[in-house]
Amino acid sequence: MAKRRGRNEGTLYQRPNGRWRAQVCIDGSRASFTADSKVECQAWLRKMLDQARQGWNYAGGKMTLGEYLHVWLENSRASLGLKTQDHYRRTVEKHILPHIGNIRLKDLRLERVERLYASLLKAGSGVRTVRIVHAVLHRSLEKAVRYGLILRNPTDGVALPQYRHAEMMVLDETQVSQLLVAAKGSRHEALYHLAVTTGMRMGELFGLRWSDLHWVSGRIYVRRQVQYVPGHVWSFVEPKTRAGRRTIKLGEGVLQALREHLERQQGERISAGIRWVEHDLIFPSKSGTPIDPSNLRLDFTRVLRQAGLPKIRFHDLRHTAASLMLNHGIPVIVVSKILGHSKPSITMDIYGHLYNEMQDEAAQLMDELVTPICTQLHPKNESLLEKQAQPLGVGAKR
């Protein structure tokens, strides 16, 4: 006969075969457990009721990780940008579901998560990829805890592989000059000039409008960037951080390059005729729309080859700009604002190695500052020094 334990306390009884059975109803779902002893069933009941009191959802706990991630991605659409949505989806489908998607949420453990990361590394995924997988998995499971589907996040305390920044490829002053000379005649000449003097990102350059440029003050305002998402058209989006919205002072050289670029663009607008789509962009395609990044990369590779320079990424022009500014004494706080970093410490984390390269100059400067200089002492000072240097007689006081 079943022994009732009171409201919301479950049921405990002994079956005809002598074994014991416990049952409990949580959120409308009935769970049961059978064991050889009454003590085991009592322990199970206490555990289930404790979990229910902590907010655990028994029905949800039956979900697999794969089922949950699909729900999480759908629920997150309203709070994520289009590019972030696509990035999360591809990470889940490529790196998580094939390996642990069939595991139930309640059965996922720290050890299994670490084994996933190890297997990804062994299969050839980079450290950065593994850390992205962890970021997506941790964020999704943190929400699962809030939903009451699990009691704790199994990714907490996971051992992550250490990420080492790849060695930066930067151009020196001479190489930058070679680059700009080789770019003469390219429709992207002014873009390269602006990139290497301001360190602006590709998407920021593509999003610049002529209305953002103030010719008299020589200032340009970064207010948006062009974003590309696979399977979608391009779109204008605001910078991710407040620091990304910034004002940059331009020198006369780059302003002259922009004047010549404007004249060239007016000719392209006339040639395009009705095909021209007006977005007021400083660096559009030949039809007025944002440039296709692959087309710019092809031209950039051609210019590098023509200049006899090593092959670098377009993004390395940003590193080049930062390197030139820091190596020529521009304060890190100023460089940080020009690059759009939210705080100078980020600039230091990325470009701190440049200060090691500047230690030779610092050592030479300090050496010059403290080098002893021989001077002729005044006779009175000489006699005083001699008197102070004489040994004291026996019993003498000083």
The predicted-structure confidence for 345-357, as pLDDT tens digits, reads as follows 888 888 877 666 5
pLDDT, tens only, 308-346: 999 999 999 999 999 999 888 889 999 999 999 999 888
Q: Please give the tally of structural domains in the chain.
A: 3
Is the same domain home to 191 and 247?
yes
Is the same domain home to 113 and 220?
no
Domain containing residue 283: CATH number:
1.10.443.10
What's residue 396's pLDDT? 45
Is the same domain home to 183 and 233?
yes
Among 308, 336, 368, residue at a domain's last position:
308
Is the same domain home to 43 and 88?
no
On whether residue 381 sits in a domain, the answer given is no
On whether residue 153 sits in a domain, the answer given is no
On whether residue 129 sits in a domain, the answer given is yes
Among 275, 308, 341, residue at a domain's last position:
308
Domain containing residue 138: CATH number:
1.10.150.130
On whether residue 293 sits in a domain, the answer given is yes
Is the same domain home to 296 and 181?
yes
Split at pLDDT 50, 70, 90, the class of 189 is very high
Is the same domain home to 178 and 300?
yes
Is the same domain home to 35 and 128?
no
Among 244, 277, 308, residue at a domain's last position:
308
- What is the average per-residue pLDDT within 47-70? 72
On whether residue 165 sits in a domain, the answer given is no
Is the same domain home to 179 and 262?
yes
Is the same domain home to 83 and 201?
no
On whether residue 13 sits in a domain, the answer given is yes
What's residue 320's pLDDT? 93
> HEC profile for the chain?
CCEECCCCCCEEEECCCCCEEEEEEECCEEEEEEECCHHHHHHHHHHHHHHHHCCCCCCHHHCEHHHHHHHHHHHHHHHCCHHHHHHHHHHHHHHHHHHHCCCEHHHCCHHHHHHHHHHHHHCCCCHHHHHHHHHHHHHHHHHHHHHCCCCCCCCCCCCCCCCCCCCCCCCCHHHHHHHHHHCCCCCCHHHHHHHHHHCCCHHHHHCCEHHHEECCCCEEEECCEEECCCCCCCEEECCCCHHHCEEEECCHHHHHHHHHHHHHHHHHHHHHHHHCCCCCECCECCCCCECCHHHHHHHHHHHHHHHCCCCCCCCHHHHHHHHHHHHCCCCHHHHHHHHCCCCHHHHHHHHCHHHHHCHHHHHHHHHHHHCCCCCCCCHHHHHHHHHHHCCCCCCCCC
What's residue 54's pLDDT? 58
On whether residue 197 sits in a domain, the answer given is yes
Is the same domain home to 46 and 74?
no
Is the same domain home to 181 and 223?
yes
Residue 226, domain extent: 174-308
What's residue 367's pLDDT? 67
Q: What is the mean pLDDT of the chain?
A: 84
On whether residue 156 sits in a domain, the answer given is no
What pTM was estimated for this model as a whole? 0.68
Is the same domain home to 261 and 185?
yes
